[in-house]
């Protein structure tokens, strides 16, 4: 009797039945590959470490790609040849961010840390990266901040991976900032900077009163306040209603005052 192999155990769980390794190029399902080719989205296989890092001993690693790329978890678990029930959900998660020039993913791969410690470390590293981007004149979406003459943007993918959690915890905020700033100035900006992003106007957050019809799905006609529909910025004006309908309360008709 033939023993079940590792590939047989992966059948039916959304995993691509191949031997996964950092050196094997992933195989996507036909549907996911068609969408990825149309939107020019790559996989984690194209994300490479930046120069100037100690790969074996660095508390965290910075890897980049000039293309938008899926994460390893998304590819190996949800986008394989045998699709997962949540494939559509994760595919929409990535394709809905296509209007952003820069994709940032921060995660902790140190198995010795507790989940809450991992979460705190990830938030700390992400905050440090955003501050470094702002210090170099870029927003967290890679768009150029106001006050600069050039309109260049950072386009692509940045992966931050905490590989040695205890060493990262011992680092001060200033040390984390200095290391990220050094890598940003030395390699990251040179690799990801492009002269102009075609839809740079849509890369910023849409404020109240502004519209982004191409990527937000709103019409060009301004909506009337109090009509029960959301405004262009995603907010709803409820000042004209007697009762706040967001709480699920019944709306009462306004009381007719006597003319006495």
Residue 47 placed within a domain? yes
In a domain, residue 209? The reply is: no
**Is the model more confident about 44 or about 220?**
44
* Cβ contacts of 94 within 8 Å, gap of 6 or more: 41, 68, 70, 74
Q: Tens of pLDDT along 165-212?
A: 899 999 999 999 999 999 999 999 999 999 876 654 343 333 333 333
The pLDDT assigned to 254 comes to 52
Q: Are 152 and 203 in contact (CB under 8 A)?
A: no
- Give per-residue pLDDT as tens, 239-253: 444 444 444 444 455
Inside any domain, residue 207: no
Instruction: Please check whether residue 252 lies inside any domain of the structure.
Output: no
> What is the average per-residue pLDDT within 113-141?
93
How buried is 193 (Cβ within 10 angstroms: 0-12 exposed, 13-18 middle, 19+ buried)? middle
User: How confident is the prediction for the chain on average, in pLDDT?
Assistant: 75
Inter-residue contact 173 to 129 (CB < 8 Å)? no
Q: How many domains is the chain partitioned into structurally?
A: 1
The position carrying tokens 């006597």 is 258
Angle, in degrees to the nearest 10, between helices 115-135 and 173-183: 50
Q: Rounded to whole angstroms, how far apart are CA atoms 7 and 1?
A: 17
Which residues constitute the domain of residue 118? Answer: 10-198
CA atoms within 13 A on the CB side of 182: 10
Which residue carries 């059948």 as its tokens?
11
Residue 233 within any structural domain of the chain? no
pLDDT at 258 over 60: no
Position 65 in a domain: yes
- Name beta bridge partners: 106: 160
Residue 203 in domain: no
pTM: 0.66
Instruction: Decide: residue 234, CB within 10 A, 0-12 exposed, 13-18 middle, 19+ buried.
Output: exposed
DSSP-assigned states of every residue in the chain: -PPP-HHHHHTTTT--SS---TTS-----HHHHHHHHHHTEE-GGG-EEPSS--TTT-SEEEEEESSEE--HHIIIIISSSS--TTHHHHHHHHHTTTTSSEEEEEEE--TTS-HHHHHHHHHHHHHHHHHHHHHTTB-TTSPBPTT-S---EE-EEEEEEES-HHHHHHS-HHHHHHHHHHHIIIIIHHHHEES--TTGGGSSPPPTT---HHHH---SSPPPTTSSS--TTS----TTSSS-GGGTPPPPPPPPPP--
Alpha-carbon dihedral sign for residues 45, 47, 192, 88? positive
In a domain, 2, yes or no: no
- Phi, psi for 106 (deg, rounded to 5): -120, 130
Is the pLDDT confidence value at 236 over 60? no
Band (pLDDT 50/70/90 cuts) for residue 148 is confident
């Amino acid at each position: 009797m033939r023993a079940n192999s590792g590939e047989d155990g992966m059948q039916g769980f959304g995993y691509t039945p191949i031997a996964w390794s950092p050196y094997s190029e992933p195989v996507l399902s036909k549907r996911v590959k068609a969408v990825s080719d149309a939107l020019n989205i790559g996989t984690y296989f194209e994300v490479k470490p930046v120069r100037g890092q100690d790969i074996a001993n660095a508390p965290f690693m910075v890897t980049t790609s000039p293309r938008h790329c899926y994460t390893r978890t998304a590819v190996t678990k949800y986008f394989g040849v045998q699709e997962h029930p949540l494939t559509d959900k994760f595919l929409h998660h990535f394709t809905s961010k296509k209007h952003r020039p820069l994709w940032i993913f921060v995660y902790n791969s140190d198995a010795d840390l507790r989940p809450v410690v991992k979460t705190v470390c990830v938030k700390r590293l992400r905050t440090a990266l955003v501050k470094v981007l702002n210090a170099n004149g870029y927003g967290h979406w890679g768009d150029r901040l106001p006050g600069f003459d050039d309109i260049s943007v950072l386009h692509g993918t940045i992966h931050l991976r905490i590989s040695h959690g205890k060493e990262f915890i011992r680092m001060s905020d200033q040390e984390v900032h200095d290391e990220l700033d050094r890598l940003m100035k030395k390699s990251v900006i040179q690799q990801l900077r492009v002269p102009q992003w075609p839809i740079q106007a849509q890369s910023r957050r849409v404020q109240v009163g502004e519209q982004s019809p191409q990527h937000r799905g709103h019409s060009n006609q301004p909506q009337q306040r109090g009509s029960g529909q959301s405004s262009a910025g995603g907010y709803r004006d409820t000042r004209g209603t007697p009762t706040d309908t967001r709480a699920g309360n019944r709306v009462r008709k306004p009381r007719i005052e006597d003319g006495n």
